[in-house]
Amino acid sequence: MESCPAHEITAGQWVVAELDGIRTLCLKAERVGKDHVNHFLVPLEPVADRRQLRLHYLDPEHSLYPTDGYHLSFTPQDGTAIEPGCALNVNGTLWLKLLDLPSAQRLYCYVDMASGQVRPRMERHHSRPLQWQVQRI
């Protein structure tokens, strides 16, 4: 597996990265601003507590290892509260709710699991929460 700088990897791509000293399977995400792009990781496996899932900021030159052979499966979850770590289906698009960066103006953000794009809010359009599981193809 060959590494690439974060800015060369497309949002929505599966990558392997070292997070807190642990080799972690992640989704590469991006937040597009007016004249810049911020790069992030969304840790997917292993994750100790999904309710603590948050965006991890990346320096654009940070080395990542693109990978494939994985997908997420989704099942309905009991209850209606959508907490960080829950997925939701909004008009056929699957989103993952995360804690935003501590420096962000909002507490939560949502990542489109297909495109890796980060959005600030989805609360008005939410559906029943979904549990997700990483599976090998």
Phi/psi at 76 (nearest 5 deg)? -60, 145
Using pLDDT thresholds of 50, 70 and 90, give the confidence band for residue 126.
low
- pLDDT tens, position by position, 39-73: 999 999 999 899 999 999 999 999 999 999 999 99
- pLDDT(127) > 80: no
3 state DSSP class of 43: strand
Average pLDDT of the segment spanning 94-119: 91
Across the range 113-133, mean pLDDT stands at 83
Q: How far is CA 15 from the centre of its chain?
A: 11
pLDDT of residue 91: 84
Across the chain, mean pLDDT equals 90
Domain 4-66 has what CATH class?
Answer: mainly beta
Asked whether residue 34 carries a pLDDT value surpassing 80, the answer given is yes
State the DSSP string of the chain.
---EEGGGSPTT-EEEEEETTEEEEEEEEEEE-SS-EEEEEEEEES-S-GGG-B-EEE-TT-EEEE--SEEEEEEE-SSS---TT-EEEETTEEEEEEE--TTSSSSEEEEETTT-BEES--GGG--S-EEEEEEE-
pLDDT at 95: 92
Contact by Cβ (8 Å): 29, 118: yes
The whole-angstrom separation of Cα 126 and Cα 87 is 10
